[in-house]
Amino acid sequence: MVNNKLWSNLKALGKLKQNGHKVGKLRFKSSKNHYKTIEYNQSGFKVDYKTKRLKLSKIGEISIKLHRKIKGEIKGVIIKKEPTGKWFAFFQVEEEPKPLSKTNKVVGIDLGIDGYTIDSDGNKFENPKFLDKTLDKIKKVQKNLSQKVRGSNNYKKTKLKLIKVYDKLNNQKNDFLHKLSRYYINNYDKIVLEDLNIKSMVENRKGQKTLNRHILSGSWKKFINLLFYI
């Protein structure tokens, strides 16, 4: 799988270069500092639901927190270490898709800052503004980090705290976006959105830091992509 990844990456870089993009070179990553994923394709793994353990070839059995039984046929497993130090197992499954029942409803959505979505049916979902609620904590940890000696144990501990703060922030945001996009997908057959140029909106509001922060932290593009993805 590592060999396949190498050649697929080289092929992708070659295509980008042919299309006129500036392309760098692949760099070596030592297993000690950078190699944080292990991939099992088709075989070499087994999930034991009774004991809640994951059996991995050449590694052994690992206790896991399984939130729900995995649906479909497991075709592969990717073991990944996140920057927070936590390890996750991503299961690749093959499952027959089940189409949602028709609602025969159409909705138009307007994306905003205070009201994250205001739609043509009169529904308004408030923007939770997770970043505003976390900003003071981020600044406090960042200030503490700047006072540490780079590379020291205290520096590493404080940097991990900052990573965990951002990790929680991203999890809150993703949870909100997934639930909101799922609501619209479940209740409407057709969804109409305005064509937003977020980059232009930010550039036209230079000097308005708070407003720009709200625009960027709103992750409107990700919300739209989730609607397409689902």
pLDDT in tens, 10-52: 888 888 888 888 887 777 766 565 667 888 988 899 999 889 9
Contact between 34 and 81 under an 8 Å Cβ cutoff? The reply is: no
Q: What is the pTM of this model?
A: 0.75
Whether the per-residue pLDDT at 126 is higher than 80: the answer is yes
CA 177 to chain centre: 11
Whether the per-residue pLDDT at 202 is higher than 80: the answer is no
User: Taking all residues of the chain, what is their mean pLDDT, rounded to a whole number?
Assistant: 86
pLDDT in tens, 67-106: 888 888 999 999 999 989 899 999 999 988 888 899 999 9
Whether the per-residue pLDDT at 196 is higher than 60: the answer is yes
| CA distance linking residue 154 with residue 166, whole number of Å | 19
Nearest to 162 by CA among 188, 135, 197: 135
Find the radius of gyration of the CA atoms of the chain. Answer: 22
The mean per-residue pLDDT over the stretch 58-66 comes to 91
pLDDT at 10: 87
Whether the per-residue pLDDT at 140 is higher than 90: the answer is yes
Whether the per-residue pLDDT at 207 is higher than 80: the answer is no
CA 229 to chain centre: 13
pLDDT at 214: 61
Burial-class residue 223 by CB neighbours within 10 Å (0-12, 13-18, 19+).
buried
pLDDT band for 66, please (50, 70, 90 cuts).
confident
Percent of the chain with pLDDT over 90: 47
